[in-house]
Structure 1
Amino acid sequence: MVFDYIVVGGGSSGCVMANRLSADGGHVLLIEAGPDTPPNAVPDDIQDGDPTRAYLNHDYRWQSLHATTVRDGRKPIHYEQARVMGGGSSINAQVANRGGPGDYDEWASSGATGWGWEDVLPYFRRLECDLDFGGEFHGKDGPLPIKRVRQSDWSGFIRAISEAYDALGLHFRPDFNGAFGDGYSVVPLTNRNGHRVSSAMAYLRESVRSRPNLTILPETTVVRLIFSGTTITGVETENKSGLQSYSAPCVILCAGALHSPAILMRSGIGPAKQLVQLGIPVVADLRGVGQNLQEHPTICVSAYLKPADRLSPNVSEYIQMHARYSSGYDGCPSTDMAISTVAKSSWHPLGKRLGTLALWVNRSYSTGTVVLTDRSHRIEPEVDFNWLSDKRDAERLKQGFRFIARLLQQDSLSSVALDPFPSALNARAKRVSKVNRTNYVLTSVLALLMDRSPRLRRGLIRRVITEGHGLSDLINDEEHLDRYIRQNVIPSWHPTSTCKMGAAVDPGAVTDPSGRVLGISGLRVADASVMPFCPRANTNIPTIMVAEKLADTVLREDRQS
């Protein structure tokens, strides 16, 4: 039961850590709360290039995790976070972009020394095998394949959007992971031959799993970390066999931006006042634990598509285009907004008839918190994103909504994206999205009714889908639009920054640039929670980069000690 390293969490970063540390000869224990996905038994829905089935499978998610989004009195919503080997990379949309060089240079200047663009680019290259591009920006030998949706597979809806972008001065960029800037592009994906390649598939191949010095423990929850004074000595876990302790001089948290801070706080590391109130003995008073929570707030617009403009049944990549543009809003960098274009909106018959534009604030400034309400590991933390609390985020999301409306008015798109409407991922939409026969039958009926006549379709959209919210109603009424945005903003599922890296003098810092928890010996964090702020990108590839860089750091520092 004694190891050199214990890695807590088998998600996107944990799989990287387990691979790299065990390759160097150290005895590694990888602990994952969810089920395993070994190479010879990866479930069909996870392998599928269309992520909707895996994302909607409750067996792969934390069931009791909820979050407050905007502080307006609404009840917390269920927040979908992966609980399966591979983490988010096993259920996400597979989008593989990196963010801008300025993001990482700002990380470095804010106290995360050694995390500038020139420092992180080698690790972006190291993680990937780019199947389309080479040159200074790309790697060819990494474990994770990166391929792009072919323009020949674009649906009529996507082609029409490309023409609309061009008409508004936003032009095509062949390589979205090349030089960073405004434009639209085919989407880079962690995908090979139409099938997902998760972090678990890429980093925990059979040859890796067969290493005698790597032990994988799935369906096991970490109850708490164990210390001798301020030195880590191991972890206490729970699974079907009961409680068990494991020892190691180095423990690395890779449980994600919501659960890594929760584990720290349950173990006595965090804001001392909160811990004392819960009866948790204080090991280290670090008030930044669980603070600085960030995400990309998102709003969506959908439209009905005629058969000729829908996604082809033999194409699995339903997110076919990604765009970035500059809002020009004071106090914000360029290329601060993003739009993903979805060629079908869900797995069911109604979703296959709808295309969706998902717009988000790509460089957000609002921050929230992760707070314990109970010392038990069975009680999820209280998550409060506090979206749109920073005026810059609220105003840019409204501005972006108007940009989408202008886009839909362009000649190329107005004849393809019919009867556009603001679409919300509310509780009712989530119920209808569950994969079951009842929802298939229900959405089949709605789809047939929408096909029958434009008049009937508009009535259904206004009375059933949107409950009366029309695009023109929102655009022409600032107060109405503000209220709608706040009530219907949704996540991008990119939580970060709750154990942020920084200088020791920074009162909000939790980890140093080597991922070491400040004031604690032998304990590190190596996931999205250490990011000083959320980069201008889907966060899966940046998270894997963080793990690659910190694995290298751990091994280098251990050799020197």
Structure 2
Amino acid sequence: MESLNRKYHGVDGEQSVSRYPYVDAPSVMMTDAFNERGLPLTDYNGVNQLGTMQAQAVAQDGERVSTNNAFIQPIRYRRKNLTVKVNSEVLKILIDEHRRAYGVVYKQHGRLYTAVASKEVIVSAGSLNSPKLLMLSGVGPKEHLHELNIDVISDLAVGENLHDHVTFNGIIIALPNETATAVDDNQLFNEIKLYKQMDVKHGPLSASGPLSTIAFYKTDPSLPAPDIQFQMAGVKYMEYFKELVAYEGVNIFPTAFYDAILPQTMNLVPKSRGKLLLNATNPHGDPLIFANYFEDPTDIMPIVKGTRFLISLEDTHAFKSKGAYFVKKPLEACRDYDWGSDEYIICLNRAYTRSTYHPVGTCKMGPQWDRKAVVDPRLRVYGVAGLRVMDSSIMPVVPRGNTNAPSIMIGERGVDLVIEEWRETTTKLVKYLV
């Protein structure tokens, strides 16, 4: 594997990025199989993403380092200019008659409160809740807001341009007993107890099982960058199929103990676009999500090609040496097709569609002439002064990879923009007074 290039990897900063201290045999098997099939071992946080590797993660000493752990907790009780209101939900952005945002109304423990902003209101609620909050506040498509008797302050395409790295369930790799990492309830309890007692975490629970293996693949060699990403999840074989039949979700916790692998073939360059609307029955409740994943039928083809490549891993020495194999039993909704055929894979895509939790685009950033744009290049909401959005909802197009780091980058860059703008304002005011 490439050595970590200091051009792409720092050694300081608030949030740690490292490799897990523990890697289990099935995860190594998957990485070896991808490599054996022609994907080079690489550092996907370096110059080239095409290839496979053991993932880097926001973790340190075997523990996840969330953005809350890294950025908020260290200063939460030390800075007078930071107040965190837990168990609270913002219900509306307050906007005055001059179309300037000046605060928010929020609910905490059943009571309503108002918070007033001295400079700006910044929305960072994610690709689903940021558009919901804007629409509740009168910023959104006028036809939809009129239907809900919400006064329109700025007619914008809020909630549109929704897209995601779509994938599907239904392809599963079974592991024999000598390769599986599954444990019984007593062993699991002991592992958890041991993990909690460690000062420096190690062992199975200090990692994420097969999630450690990542691969990026081009379905066409002429493409400028990979259009498919493979991610793995560890599952209990019998529990997985019971839940899949009921379609109530997939139990993948804890990820370290499993006897089957659920590989996810993700389309990194989706063309289809969906939208998000307020729920007319209860606008403050869960929004209505119209994912519209395969509006453009060509979005399925990269997944079909990627899945074909994935299935070919069964012929590798890595798989054969561990006794791993694909379960070739057609699922109920696709029983009329031969397992592994293009028709079967297409059916799985449509019948067992799954999000990879990378939704973006619902408050799209773009120039003012773009009818779909909600925020400008400085993340300011069009038509409302003193209001910005800083999260993955502003992405015009989803990146070819996970959205966690890019979302953090948006926050970092957004803060720079705010500081820069208000510093300029202060400088201009001082010059005027002098």
TM bin, normalised by shorter chain, reads: 0.7 to 0.9
Q: What is the alpha-carbon distance in structure 2 between the residues aligned to residue 471 and residue 421 of structure 1?
A: 17
- Counterpart in 2 of 1:63? none
Offset at residue 469 of structure 1 (A): 5.9
Q: What is the alpha-carbon distance in structure 2 between the residues aligned to residue 382 and residue 349 of structure 1?
A: 30
Name the SS of the counterpart of 1:216 in structure 2. coil
Cα distance change on mapping 1:524 and 1:296 into 2, 3 Å: same
Deviations 1:161-188 (A, max 9, x none): 3332233211111x22111231001101
Is this contact kept in 1: 2:217–2:229, CA < 8 A? yes
The answer to whether residue 42 in structure 2 is matched with residue 177 in structure 1 is no
Offset at residue 308 of structure 1 (A): 3.5
Name the SS of the counterpart of 1:534 in structure 2. coil
Q: What is the alpha-carbon distance in structure 2 between the residues aligned to residue 498 and residue 349 of structure 1?
A: 31
Name the SS of the counterpart of 2:364 in structure 1. coil
Offset at residue 516 of structure 1 (A): 0.2
- 1:315 aligned partner, one-letter code: P
Is this contact kept in 2: 1:365–1:393, CA < 8 A? yes
Is this contact kept in 2: 1:329–1:396, CA < 8 A? no
Cα distance change on mapping 1:375 and 1:270 into 2, 3 Å: farther
- 2:61 aligned partner, one-letter code: N
The answer to whether residue 91 in structure 2 is matched with residue 223 in structure 1 is yes
**What 5-or-longer segments of structure 2 have no aligned partner?**
183-190, 192-202, 237-251, 426-434
Deviations 1:409-462 (A, max 9, x none): 32331453534237xxxxxxxxxxxxxxxxxxxxxxxxxxxxxxxxxxxxxxx5
Query: What does 1:475-486 correspond to in 2, within 5 Å?
Result: 475-476=340-341, 478-486=342-350
Name the SS of the counterpart of 2:416 in structure 1. helix
- 1:540 aligned partner, one-letter code: N
Offset at residue 324 of structure 1 (A): 0.3
Match of 1:405 among 287, 290, 311: 311
- 2:161 aligned partner, one-letter code: N
Name the SS of the counterpart of 2:339 in structure 1. helix
Offset at residue 348 of structure 1 (A): 6.8
Offset at residue 543 of structure 1 (A): 0.3
Cα distance change on mapping 1:165 and 1:251 into 2, 3 Å: same
Provide TM-score, normalisation by structure 1. 0.64
Offset at residue 514 of structure 1 (A): 0.8
Is this contact kept in 1: 2:361–2:393, CA < 8 A? yes
Provide TM-score, normalisation by structure 2. 0.82
- What is the aligned residue count? 383
Match of 1:305 among 175, 178, 182: 175
Mean Cα displacement is larger for which, 545-554 or 291-300? Answer: 291-300
Mean Cα displacement is larger for which, 400-409 or 304-313? Answer: 304-313
Aligned-CA RMSD value: 2.6
Name the SS of the counterpart of 2:402 in structure 1. coil
- Counterpart in 2 of 1:252? 122
- 1:511 aligned partner, one-letter code: V
Offset at residue 320 of structure 1 (A): 1.6
Query: What does 1:94-493 correspond to in 2, within 5 Å?
Result: 133=4, 135-149=6-20, 153-173=22-42, 175-229=43-97, 230-248=99-117, 249-286=119-156, 288-300=157-169, 301-311=171-181, 314-316=203-205, 317=207, 318=209, 319-328=211-220, 333-342=224-233, 346-347=252-253, 352-374=258-280, 376-416=282-322, 418-421=324-327, 462=329, 466-467=331-332, 473-476=338-341, 478-493=342-357
Is this contact kept in 1: 2:30–2:213, CA < 8 A? no
Is this contact kept in 2: 1:223–1:377, CA < 8 A? no
Q: What is the alpha-carbon distance in structure 1 between the residues aligned to residue 333 and residue 374 of structure 2?
A: 46
Name the SS of the counterpart of 1:400 in structure 2. helix
Is this contact kept in 2: 1:284–1:520, CA < 8 A? yes
- 1:334 aligned partner, one-letter code: A
Offset at residue 215 of structure 1 (A): 1.0
Q: What is the alpha-carbon distance in structure 1 between the residues aligned to residue 323 and residue 304 of structure 2?
A: 21
Is this contact kept in 2: 1:303–1:417, CA < 8 A? no
Query: What does 1:2-151 correspond to in 2, within 5 Å?
Result: 133=4, 135-149=6-20
- Counterpart in 2 of 1:524? 388
- Counterpart in 2 of 1:73? none
Is this contact kept in 2: 1:280–1:375, CA < 8 A? no
Q: What is the alpha-carbon distance in structure 1 between the residues aligned to residue 408 and residue 254 of structure 2?
A: 32
Identity of aligned residues (%): 28
- 1:204 aligned partner, one-letter code: I
Q: What is the alpha-carbon distance in structure 2 between the residues aligned to residue 412 and residue 315 of structure 1?
A: 21
Offset at residue 322 of structure 1 (A): 0.4
Cα distance change on mapping 1:395 and 1:404 into 2, 3 Å: same
Name the SS of the counterpart of 1:512 in structure 2. coil
Cα distance change on mapping 1:343 and 1:223 into 2, 3 Å: closer
Q: What is the alpha-carbon distance in structure 1 between the residues aligned to residue 147 and residue 88 of structure 2?
A: 28
Offset at residue 237 of structure 1 (A): 1.2
Name the SS of the counterpart of 1:357 in structure 2. strand
Cα distance change on mapping 1:241 and 1:341 into 2, 3 Å: closer
Q: What is the alpha-carbon distance in structure 2 between the residues aligned to residue 213 and residue 502 of structure 1?
A: 32
Deviations 1:271-292 (A, max 9, x none): 1111111100010111x21000
Cα distance change on mapping 1:405 and 1:134 into 2, 3 Å: closer
Cα distance change on mapping 1:315 and 1:344 into 2, 3 Å: farther
- Counterpart in 2 of 1:448? none
Cα distance change on mapping 1:329 and 1:481 into 2, 3 Å: farther
Offset at residue 472 of structure 1 (A): 8.8
Deviations 1:364-389 (A, max 9, x none): 22111011133855322111111122
Q: What is the alpha-carbon distance in structure 2 between the residues aligned to residue 204 and residue 220 of structure 1?
A: 17
- 1:359 aligned partner, one-letter code: T
Match of 2:378 among 476, 494, 514: 514
**Pair member with larger Rg:** 2
Name the SS of the counterpart of 1:541 in structure 2. helix
Q: What is the alpha-carbon distance in structure 2 between the residues aligned to residue 516 and residue 279 of structure 1?
A: 25
Offset at residue 329 of structure 1 (A): 8.6
Offset at residue 134 of structure 1 (A): 5.2
Q: What is the alpha-carbon distance in structure 1 between the residues aligned to residue 235 and residue 151 of structure 2?
A: 51
Is this contact kept in 2: 1:155–1:309, CA < 8 A? no
Name the SS of the counterpart of 2:414 in structure 1. helix
Is this contact kept in 2: 1:143–1:202, CA < 8 A? yes
Offset at residue 156 of structure 1 (A): 2.8
